[in-house]
Structure 1
Amino acid sequence: MQLSLQAKQQMQLTMTPQLRQAIDMLHYSIDEMDDLLAEENERSPLITIQFKRTRSHRPKSAELNEPQWVEPSSEQFGDHSISYDELTQLVRLQFHNRQEQQLVLALLPYIQSNGYLDLEAVPLQRPLIEKGVTLLQQVGPPGIGAMSVEQCLYFQAKEAEFSNKKLVLQIIQYHLQDLAKQQLKYIATKCEVTLEDVLEAIQAIRTLQPYPCQIDTYEKVDTLIPDVIIERDGEALFFSIHPTYAPTITFHQPEHWHQYDQEAKQFVRDQQLRYFWLKRSLEKRYETLHRFMTHIVERQRPFFLQGETELQPLTMREVAEQLNVHESTISRVTMNKWLETPHGLYPFKQLFQPKLHTATGTVSRTKVQHLIQRCIEQENPEAPLSDQQIVAHLSSQYEIKISRRTVQKYREALGISSSRMRKQFV
């Protein structure tokens, strides 16, 4: 065997820390960019970065949000009292997943002083709200953020140590109205238990509080600020990007710096290179988001004009191909970012909808979910539609052909019970 030495040329991309940070800037949220720019201001004496926030999107005043019922007494709250500051800190400590943390923080401004969520004021779609309220139970008093008395009692009962918890939860979930009418024998029959069991469960329910907790103050809450705002003027659509994406960056070059010693000159050069790199990175971040939004406004135009039921099927790969960038770039652009539309606040990820094929083309998942919800809302409560009947309805009325399992999955995602659970008895 003969050994030989050969020269070979090979191109290789080395990712420097500066390049890595420039790429990471794409997925930074507004708060993260605030921290980064503030740090740059402190560490770079020759660089000044200035930006200002747009409208803060804080909730209405406490007086406008105050419910019309009588303010509950301290006995109705039990021992649960918490401040918004404490809630915010607990959320930040509990949730390490950025999207979950932002979702829960987005709900906090809409929790009223009695612990209930002001559902009508929350600018998020219902599945997101449901998910956020469920997550909120991990940090706050049981029932906080509940949207109804039933839900408040249900969350509390799940945490309580009742020997008959299954029956208590069943009564709360399906028979509170029957309980209010004192139809105890009917409840016992439906739950297949004795009257004594029902009476024991009622005693357990009476230990629960009708109000989740008492919130001390309303002002000290971090609110979610949208990265992009979509505005409508007739049929025309416009978008504006938050100022954090395009701050004013200034380099203060010292006079007569060429007369400095070698070490000082090198410091000025390093600062200047840092300035050019930072300026270009921020410009690239803004440019990428601007190109993305220009394309999205056109592709999702029906959604911005008419609402979420008109979300069009769209994938990140399609957008990446149209913009001639890598799919990972689109993923970074949409990460941890929120969009304010004429119809409410949405995460960027909501803009992407998987395709469902129909006889006349494709339709988005959100559209199908809306049709399923509308179908169930219009059903006879005494003879609710089964998932298979919904499949048949979508096929005959809208030429949408999907499986029964898909209908079940979408129905559960909407928080809708099965036909057996929805059935009402006269």
Structure 2
Amino acid sequence: MAIGPRLDLRFTQSLVMTPQLRQAIQLLQSSNLEVSAFVEEELERNPLLERDERPDGAEPEPPAGAEPPPAAMPDSYEGANAACLPAAADAPLDIGDWSNVYDGDSAGRGGRPDFEDLPGIEDTVAGRPRSLREELAEQVRLTFPDPSDRLIAAQLIALLDPSGRLLAEDAAIAAALGCAGGRVTAIRLRMQRFEPAGMFCRSLSECLAVQLAERDRLDPAMAALLDNLDLLARRDLRGLMRLCGVDAEDLADMAAELRRLDPKPGAGQDSGPAPWLVPDVLMRRAPAGAPEGEWILELNPDTLPRVLVNRGFHAQAQRRATREERAFLSEKYQAANWLLKSLEQRASTILRVAGEIVRRQEGFFRQGVSHLRPLILRDVAEAVEMHESTVSRVTANKSIATPRGNFELKYFFTTAIGGTSGETFSAEAIRHRIRSMVAAEAPENILSDDAIVSALRQEGVDIARRTVAKYREALRIPSSVQRKREKAVPA
């Protein structure tokens, strides 16, 4: 065998994660808010990108000498962008004659508008709802004339947790402020009667006791019940009746009185309205005359970024640019085109995956959660000819608006539970069935886990007792013993 140098030519394939590919993957798994934030950053970094603020159907006129644009985007992407463009303004912005804008009633001397009728700044501030701490500070000013008492009260307000509890000890607060502990305690007890009542307490029983005292319902029997809330949580009604010295009817009235109280009076006081969930995909029934069982899916135009490449500016800047400037413009031009392509691919991929999910979960959309079918990522990936990781990224942080409400796309992927006849059932549908069975049980016939297993097996579901117990605990349903205690006395 001869030994010597030689040249070999070999062909290999490898996947290189370029920055553009990483960007496309990141956009695919990001939520609509994250995509909007990313596009905003690109608009600031790239001078060739701009917001698409054209009216519906308008096409920009290329400047003279500009290079022709590349191949157009697919119709699906253009249609999605056109659907979310704002309407044209009713009047131009460059108005020169303001005399045609303000009429004689609203204009003062010289044709200027009269601003005396506008609301004052005090009216604007008064219209803003005050926070909980502002409300408490106002009650402090009305209750404590002594400035040092107000200082202690302000410190107590600052130490409140979101639920309205005060976890710090009076002695620790007094040591930090350099005053007597009894003074802090006296001020705290007075502040417990502030609105809402029950603030500045250290425990649940103390909070409920303050609210009951405000309603003149804190009698010895109720005080004994507050001292044994752990027995009430365990539904030990016999023990409570013995400790409180009441019968079953009185105990039921007392428990109902406690349920009408607020265990966390500070929670939700400063929170505004719940944020509105903006779905990525909109789903509606096909119009009349369409084949039975068809749905219409479209991307939500409110979540689609509206950007375009300013090709006219690129063409003009190229003619006057130096060599380094041309390299910079070429890099930004390629980055802008790649961003538009990534956004288009993201939109089409979401639509394909959502369409396959809707097709497989047809029974859920027509008949409810009991007809939810088992579904895994591999099933959808094989149908749309994608990798499982791609489907996982598409369904992450995405939601769909359906006639049954808004759901995350991940909701429709559930594990399968075998049936007695070979068929499979969705785990989510089984959990829904367990919840329904417990809600419909009679007080004299409380279903145990074994009874639930027997009932499900009669319906064709092959399920183990430990699985039923796991689902019941996940649904926060008490055990049969606790439910029997709870329903032994009418609430």
TM-score band w.r.t. shorter chain: 0.5 to 0.7
Q: What letter is aligned with 1:364?
A: S
Match of 2:428? Answer: 366
Unaligned runs of 5+ in 1: 55-79, 84-138, 144-154, 176-186, 197-201
Match of 1:250? Answer: 309
Match of 2:239? Answer: 190
Match of 2:212? Answer: none
Q: How does 1:180-219 map to 2 (within 5 A)?
A: 187=237, 189-190=238-239, 194-195=243-244, 209=262, 212-213=265-266, 215=268
Residues 403/26 of structure 1: CA separation in 2 closer, same or farther (3 Å cut)? same
| Per-residue deviation, residues 220-275 of structure 1 (Å, max 9, x unmatched) | 65422111122224753222212334634233324262342111211221121012
| Per-residue deviation, residues 156-212 of structure 1 (Å, max 9, x unmatched) | 73998x9x999313325747xxxxxxxxxxx4x33597449xxxxx9xx89x84563
Alpha-carbon shift at residue 29 of structure 1 (Å): 0.5
Match of 2:453? Answer: 391
1:255 partner SS: helix
Match of 2:132? Answer: 81
Q: What letter is aligned with 2:296?
A: F
2:476 partner SS: coil
Aligned partner of 1:141 among 153, 163, 166: 163
Residues 381/3 of structure 1: CA separation in 2 closer, same or farther (3 Å cut)? farther
Match of 1:37? Answer: 39
Residues 395/263 of structure 1: CA separation in 2 closer, same or farther (3 Å cut)? same
User: 2: CA distance between counterparts of 1:341 and 1:259?
Assistant: 53
Residues 216/415 of structure 1: CA separation in 2 closer, same or farther (3 Å cut)? closer
Match of 2:488? Answer: 425
Structure 1 contact 338–346 (Cα < 8 Å) conserved: yes
Structure 1 contact 82–216 (Cα < 8 Å) conserved: no
Q: What letter is aligned with 2:51?
A: I
Match of 1:150? Answer: none
User: 1: CA distance between counterparts of 2:4 and 2:234?
Assistant: 80
| Per-residue deviation, residues 285-315 of structure 1 (Å, max 9, x unmatched) | 1111111112112111111222222211110
Q: What letter is aligned with 1:20?
A: R
Q: What is the TM-score normalised by the length of structure 1? A: 0.64
Aligned partner of 2:283 among 210, 214, 230: 230
Q: What letter is aligned with 2:331?
A: D
Moved more, 279-288 or 255-264: 255-264
Q: What is the TM-score normalised by the length of structure 2? A: 0.56
1:279 aligns with 2:340: yes
User: 1: CA distance between counterparts of 2:30 and 2:205?
Assistant: 37
Residues 39/237 of structure 1: CA separation in 2 closer, same or farther (3 Å cut)? same
Structure 1 contact 251–275 (Cα < 8 Å) conserved: no
Alpha-carbon shift at residue 326 of structure 1 (Å): 1.0
Unaligned runs of 5+ in 2: 54-80, 85-130, 135-160, 166-201, 210-224, 246-253
Structure 1 contact 334–349 (Cα < 8 Å) conserved: yes
Aligned partner of 1:268 among 317, 329, 332: 329
Moved more, 3-12 or 309-318: 3-12
User: 1: CA distance between counterparts of 2:206 and 2:412?
Assistant: 36
User: 1: CA distance between counterparts of 2:162 and 2:270?
Assistant: 15
Residues 5/366 of structure 1: CA separation in 2 closer, same or farther (3 Å cut)? farther
Moved more, 39-48 or 253-262: 253-262
Residues 142/418 of structure 1: CA separation in 2 closer, same or farther (3 Å cut)? farther
Which of these two proteins has the greater Rg computed from alpha carbons? 2
1:345 aligns with 2:390: no
2:316 partner SS: coil
Aligned partner of 1:324 among 372, 376, 385: 385
